[in-house]
Structure 1
Amino acid sequence: MIQFTEEQLAVRTMVRDLARKAIAPRARAWDEHGQFPDELRRLLTAHDLFVMCLPEDVGGLGFDLTTQCLVLEEIAKADGAAAVTLQDQGTSSHFLLNACTPEQRRTLVPQIRARQLLVAFCLSEPGSGSDAGGLQTRAVREGDEYVLRGQKTWVTNGGPAEWYIVLALTDPDKRTRGGISAFLVDRDAPGVQLGPPMKKMGLRASATVDLFLEDVRVSAARRLGAEGQGFAYVMKTFEASRPQVATLGLGLAEGAYDYALGYAKERHAFGKPIAEFQAIQFMLADMATQIEAARLLVYQAAQMFDAGAPDLTYYASLAKLFATDAAMRVTTDAVQILGGAGYVNEHPVERMMRDAKVTQIFEGTNQIQRVIIARHILG
């Protein structure tokens, strides 16, 4: 049984109220507009949620991963795009905590709170998604600087973000075995160019762009951590970010299920509510079962992370795989229960279905999660 502390439950109640009153009523308009809404940034900043993953000694709220997931779950119930905006800030925050030297932690990380910065995480490239070791962006050292050249894609929060964590090759011969390093790049640095916002199937209110680096000079002091250790920091970060993405799936599934359940009780056909038909009851039963199973895997992974347990990669992959696959099934069934009404944007379930799809893809595709799980169980 997953148990939460009184403090965690109080945070969940606060965020649930925020999501219901301030996010859910705006989600449809944000989706239709298809651009990152400034009012969302102001809203999340006002509640300090962009720094929830950072420790208190660097200006953050100091939430553990379990509390972070409770926050993301409540927001995802209302709007997947709002949740992924916050989740990607979390990925960047966890990466910084894994990678930064003590001096960088003291001088760089506190600026996120002080300057209310968004930080984007830049790993994927046009030719390397699941194959992260195949990236082509180069970082060549020249004295006390590195010169970066290359292209990143699928950059969440790209545009609004002021800082970009860029993974680049410092030793092409070594690649994932000590050849990839991480750099903190300013949006306004000479040579940095951002592509236009991508037109996406879902998460339309989340900013997603390409990032182009044309001989961008970065001080060696802003190489994050040790040279050649960037890939190791990424793998460590996934132990936290994959349960977070799993939570997005959980929240989207819950939001769609709750809406479909309410609709089924109110919608009449053949003289009675459609919820009284066994076909609908079986769909709702399957949806509820998948949600509860996903919840157990998500919070097991989060609480194991907080406890510093071993085999976190395995449990994070279990949660990410199951919860996001469940999200796709549950949101699709929610549309089916609403019938034709579910196919139009007057109701939120079609948006939730579109938003759910990408949770099976980013932070490691679900095929990659199966590879990780199989390797663990087979040794």
Structure 2
Amino acid sequence: MISNFGLDDRHVAHRERVRKFCDEQIRPVVDDYEERGEFPLDVVDELGEAGLYGINVPEEYGGAGLDFRSFVVTVEELARVWKIPAGVVSLSCSLFANTIEKYGTDWQREEWLRGLFTDNGVAAISLTEPQAGSDASAIETTATRDGDEYVIDGHKVWTSHGAVADIVLVVARTGDDGTHDDVSIIAVPEPHDRDGFEIVRDIPCMEGDAVVESEIAYDGLRVPTDYLLGEEGQGFRYIMEALDIGRIGAAAQAVGISQGAFDECISFADEREAFGRSIRQFQGVSFKLADMQMGIDASRLLTYRAASALDRGADRVTQPAAMAKTFASDTAMDVTTEAVQIHGSRGYSRDYPLERYMREAKGIQIYEGTNEVNRHVIAKNLYE
């Protein structure tokens, strides 16, 4: 059973539509993509055709024009089956779409926002560097003005979807004072067709080979100065605002993973017998299931609360977003670990999805700000 507290009837109906799509269109192909280690570009097309890609992006820019609660429901249901398409929707609708919609010019919104969601393209954000992860202010990548162009030089890692991206937003220094005030965001559309853009490698990671996490070298890459988003020197503030929404998306992914693992456990614990009875009748198992249900419901409610604040017009949701992301991802790690345990050797086997859910959950504790950083954010805001 899924708690729908905080949702209207339209959100419940939307959940059913997304769940049907996931069960019919995504679930049958997950294992094939995972085994081949292939990023699911075809699934992104199917999401777009079903009207589930730019879910909270205005219709005038190629999206569905729904609210943020519909966004988290969509991401949750996708992650319940497979996190990779959930991550594509989450990133494109938060870090990418929010930044361009809020700070882009009319032509940038028309060309890049509408272009991405009309053509079902893939977006990437180039922020993290080898020496600048949790401390995003330590970035060293530069964008130097040369006439009517920026020349971008630097080294980025963990650029999600970088190797398959149709557009990349690069966070770089446009000044030399070494503070937040010289950081800007510059768009690089069609990056693979540009000199000075090199995919150094796809970073191998725990989640598997189908996920795309790219290491990128920028070596004299030139783009027009009107590819700057908003004002020079305001990029750090822009990306921090977008990360608030990204954390809500990450929380929704965590809730979906937890729910997917829990659903598997409910069926398995009822059907699996030991010593003449189903294992759900043993307290050691039933208490695990009870803890899972409580954690999932609490995670979902925190996520809905953060999304509802955006729907009510909140300008910033730093605190509720950090709380939702941290609690939901920690819960997902707990739930998936116990789900593997309940399934025993089956949980440890790739014949079942539990080990994949567990690997997926671990990543959410790290990206969109590690949970340690998010706890720092939460604690700091208690006194502001």
TM-score (normalizing by structure 1):
0.96
User: Runs (4+) of structure 1 moved beyond 6 Å?
Assistant: none
Following superposition of structure 1 onto structure 2, how do residues 110-125 of structure 1 map, counting pairs within 5 Å? 110-125=114-129
Q: Among residues 45, 49, 53, which one is paired with 2:48 in the alignment?
A: 45
- Aligned match of 1:343: 348
Please identify, of 258-267 and 195-204, the stretch whose mean Cα deviation from structure 2 is larger.
195-204
Aligned residue for 1:73? 76
Q: Distance in 2 between matches of 1:31 and 1:328?
A: 21
Amino acid at match of 2:223: V
* 1:52-104 residue CA offsets vs partner (Å, 9 max, x unmatched): 23211222111211101000010100011221122222221122223213442
1:203 CA displacement: 5.2
Using the alignment, how far apart are the partners of 1:37 and 1:106 within structure 2?
Answer: 26
Once residues 300 and 188 of structure 2 are traced to their aligned partners in structure 1, the CA distance between those partners, rounded to angstroms, is 36
What's the CA shift for 1:250? 0.5
Contact 2:248 2:307 in 1 (8 A): yes
Per-residue deviation at 1:310? 6.3
Q: How much does 1:109 deviate?
A: 2.4
Amino acid at match of 2:265: A
Q: CA RMSD in A?
A: 1.6
Aligned position for 1:32 = 35
Tell me how far apart the structure 1 counterparts of residues 56 and 219 of structure 2 sit (CA, whole Å). 32
Q: What amino acid maps onto 1:60 in structure 2?
A: G
Q: Residue 108 and residue 76 in structure 1: after superposition, are their counterparts in 2 closer, same or farther (change >3 A)?
A: closer
Query: Residue 168 of structure 2 corresponds to which residue in structure 1?
Result: 164
Paired residues of 1:77 and 1:254 also in contact (CA < 8 A)? yes
Partner of 1:146: 150
Distance verdict in 2 for CA 1:229–1:193, change over 3 Å: same
1:222 & 1:50 partners in 2: Cα distance? 24
Distance of 2:242 and 2:208 partners within structure 1: 23
Letter in 1 for 2:346: A
Q: Provide the secondary structure at the position in 2 that maps to 1:193.
A: strand
Q: Does the Cα contact within 8 Å between 1:28 and 1:345 map onto a contact in 2?
A: no
Alignment-derived partner of residue 367 in structure 2: 362
- CA deviations on 1:127-160 (whole Å, 9 max, x unpaired) are 1111000011000001111100011111111222
1:320–1:203 CA distance, 2 compared to 1 (3 A): farther
Match of 1:334 in 2: 339
Shift of 1:306: 1.2
Aligned to 1:273: 278
C-alpha distance in structure 1 between counterparts of 2:260 and 2:208, whole Å: 15
Q: Secondary structure at the match of 1:39?
A: helix
Q: Equivalents in 1 of 2:246, 2:240: separation in Å?
A: 10
Residue 378 of structure 1 deviates from its aligned partner by: 3.1
| 2: CA distance, partners of 1:206 / 1:43 | 18
Residue 246 of structure 1 aligns to a residue whose secondary structure is: helix
Identity fraction in percent: 35
Unpaired runs of at least 5, structure 2: none
Find the partner of 2:231 among 226, 242, 245.
Answer: 226
Q: Does 1:246 align with 2:245?
A: no
Unaligned runs of 5+ in 1: none
Comparing 195-204 with 120-129, which one deviates more in the overlay?
195-204
SS at match of 2:350: coil
Equivalent position SS for 1:184:
strand
Per-residue CA deviation, residues 225-250 of structure 1 (Å, 9 max, x unaligned), is 11111111011112211111001000
- Three-state SS of the structure 1 residue aligned to 2:39 is coil
The one-letter amino acid of 1:259's match is E
Name 1:60's counterpart in structure 2.
Answer: 63
